[in-house]
Amino acid sequence: MNHSLKPWNTFGIERDAALIVRAENEQQLFNAWKDAVKNQQPVLILGEGSNVLFLEDFAGTVIVNRIMGIHIEEQADAWLLHVGAGENWHKLVQFTLEQGMPGLENLALIPGCVGSSPIQNIGAYGLELQHVCEYVDCIELETGNPLRLSAEECRFGYRDSIFKHEYQDRYAIVAVGLRLPKVWQPILSYGDLTRLAPATVTPKAVFDSVCHMRMTKLPDPKVNGNAGSFFKNPVITAEDAQTLLIQFPDIPHYPQADGSVKLAAGWLIDRCDLKGTRIGGAAVHQHQALVLINASCATGQDVVELAHLVRQRVGEKFNVWLEPEVRFIGQTGEVNAVEIIA
């Protein structure tokens, strides 16, 4: 039987899995995991596959997490949301705004499921998940026992969390707890948002502006398969940033609280004249250099070779070495993306 992974990854890479199981509750997820382990098969838990690149056929069970539900508790100063891991992230953002509960609008149109959001500590336009996350509910895969992690225990970092490290293969995320304060503070520090007036701006105006920026900059995965931003924005030392600024005075740079400086990966790639560059069926997007696309029946290997070329060119020009934000999946599970494209 053909268990195609093409519908389950936004890159649209044609690969197969030994088995694909859709889990609509914790018990189904746990049972599917237990069965795979009993059969000595590797297991991969997927949301909407919006941040993965399949390099090979997957030799085991892919569990598609579709645990749904949104529960709202109102407090004097905030709304508390308990959201199932299988809920679509953007639909959640829309839902909260429609219910008069702003706070997520800067994260509009980020592809994927709610359960994936803590893994990456998703972020955009000045807001990260960690700013609104209260807790993450998991089950321990070996026992099925529930575990609630506070936001602090999730060890959130830039596109990073405990779920990318020691909890990666031991726990499955089943729900996320969010806290949206009733006193709304607009975050207008990036892109077109800087043109909005803080005194009169509405949550809907921020949402609309974010959607406009994303839709004009980023390709639609239904047209050209992609996983959004392919590379992380690199974070370098203040000293290295000063050296770069002498050579490239117009380089966008964002000082961080710890003294480091974040650069715009898309700008670095653009300055290497890589837009439109193609290897096999994979290409650097014509309008947004940070996005690698499946232009025509690309394989995982096409994307890897293109990512390697981009990393080398940027490294040679700026001495800044990009790291993929996208997770690379091999035959038995996730592999080290930096090593693959180095």
Kindly list the catalytic residues.
159, 229, 325
Beta strands in 171-280 (DSSP E): 171-181, 225-226, 235-236, 253-255, 261-263, 278-279
Is residue 209 classed as helix, strand or coil in its secondary structure?
A: helix
Tabulate helix, strand, coil % of the chain (nearest 5).
30, 25, 40
157: β partners: 160
For residue 247, give both structure tokens: 């050579």
Please name which of 31, 29, 1, 36 lies closest in space to residue 16, comparing C-alpha atoms: 1
**CA angle, residues 63, 69, 72, in degrees to nearest 5:** 145
Per-residue b or e along 228-246, where b marks 16 or more CB atoms closer than 10 Å to that residue's CB:
bbbbbbbbbeeebbeebee
**Measured on CA atoms in the order 274, 275, 277, 280, is the torsion positive or negative?**
positive
The structure tokens 């729900």 sit at: 175
Query: 89-98 vs 203-217: helix axis angle to the nearest 10?
Result: 150
CB atoms within 10 A of CB 204: 12
Provide the 3-class DSSP secondary structure of residue 297: coil
Residue 291 CA to chain centroid, in angstroms? 13
In terms of Cβ atoms closer than 10 Å to its own Cβ (0-12, 13-18, 19+), residue 185 is: exposed
- State the Cα–Cα distance between residues 303 and 187, nearest whole angstrom: 34
Q: List, in sequence order, every residue forming a beta bridge with 175; answer none if it has no partner.
A: 84, 137
- List the Cα angle 174/109/231 in 5-degree steps: 85
